[in-house]
Amino acid sequence: MSFCSFSKDCDGNSFVTVENKFITKYLPEVDGFAVKVYLYGLYLCKTGNSDFGVTSMAEVLKAKEEDVVSAFELWEDYDLVEILSRQPFVVQYLPVRNAAGKPKKAHYEQYADFNKELQRQMQKVGKFVSSNDYIKYMNFLKENDMQPHALLLVVEYCINKQGDAVSPSYIFNKAKKLLREGAYTYEQVERALTSFNANEGDLIAVLGALNAGAYTKAPTENDYSLYRKWTETLGFTKDGVVAAAKSLKRGGMNALDMTLEDLYERGKIEPREIAAYLTERETLVSLTFRVARKLGAKVSNPAAYIDEYVEKWYTYGFEDTSLLDIALFCMKSEQGSFESMHAIVEKLFACGVVSVEGVKAFLKEKNDEVKLFGKIRDICGLAVRKNATNLSLIRTWRDWNFSDEMILEAAKRSATSASPIPYMNKILSDWKAQEVFSVKAIPESAPTVNTYAKNAYVNANVEAANAKADRERYYAALREKAQTKADTFLKKANENPRFKEIVKELAKMEIAQARAEISKPQELPALLEKRKALQAERKAILFALGIKEEQLIPKFACIKCSDSGFLPDGTACDCYKK
CB of 148 closer than 8 Å to CB of 139 = no
492: left (phi over 0), alpha (psi -120 to 50) or beta: alpha
| Distances 336 to 296, 311, 387, 547 between C-alpha atoms, Å | 6, 19, 11, 41
User: Cα torsion for 496, 501, 502, 504, to the nearest 10°?
Assistant: 130
Q: Which region, left, alpha or beta, applies to residue 103 given φ > 0 means left and ψ of -120 to 50 means alpha?
A: beta
The one-letter code for the residue type at 429 is S
CA 151, 156, 162: angle at the middle one, nearest 5?
Answer: 120
The set of residues, in sequence order, having a beta carbon less than 8 Å from that of 447 and lying 6+ positions away, is 430, 455
pLDDT tens digits, residue range 55-67? 888 998 888 888 8
Residue among 139, 128, 64, 107 nearest 151 (CA): 139
Rounded to whole angstroms, how far apart are CA atoms 39 and 57?
11
CB of 230 closer than 8 Å to CB of 223:
no
Q: Is the pLDDT of residue 380 over 80?
A: yes
Q: What share of the chain is helix, strand, coil (3-state, %, to 5)?
A: 70, 0, 30
Kindly report each contact of residues 385-388 with a partner whose C-beta sits within 8 Å and lies 24 or more positions away, as own/partner. Answer: 386/333, 386/334, 387/334, 388/333, 388/335, 388/340
User: Can you tell me the distance from the alpha carbon of 286 to that of 67, in angstroms, rounded to the nearest whole number?
Assistant: 51
> Residue 81 above 70 pLDDT?
yes
Which residues have CB under 8 Å from 336's CB, separation 6+?
295, 296, 297, 330
For residue 414, what pLDDT is reported?
A: 82
Percent over 70 (pLDDT), the chain: 85
pLDDT at position 250: 67
Q: Cα separation of 576 and 561, whole Å?
A: 9
Closest among 388, 377, 384 to 330, alpha carbons compared = 388
The maximal CA–CA distance of the chain, rounded, in angstroms, is 134
More confident call, 463 vs 178: 178
pLDDT above 80 for 201: no
Q: How far is 66 from 133, CA to CA, in rounded Å? A: 12
pTM of the predicted model as reported, rounded to 2 decimal places: 0.39
Bridging pattern class, strands 81-86 and 89-93: antiparallel
Asked if pLDDT for residue 465 goes beyond 60, the answer is: no
Quote the DSSP letter at residue 213: G
497-529 pLDDT per residue, tens: 898 888 888 877 777 777 777 777 788 888 888
Distance CA 238, CA 556 (A): 68
The most confident of 190-194, 315-319, 414-418, 508-512, by mean pLDDT: 315-319
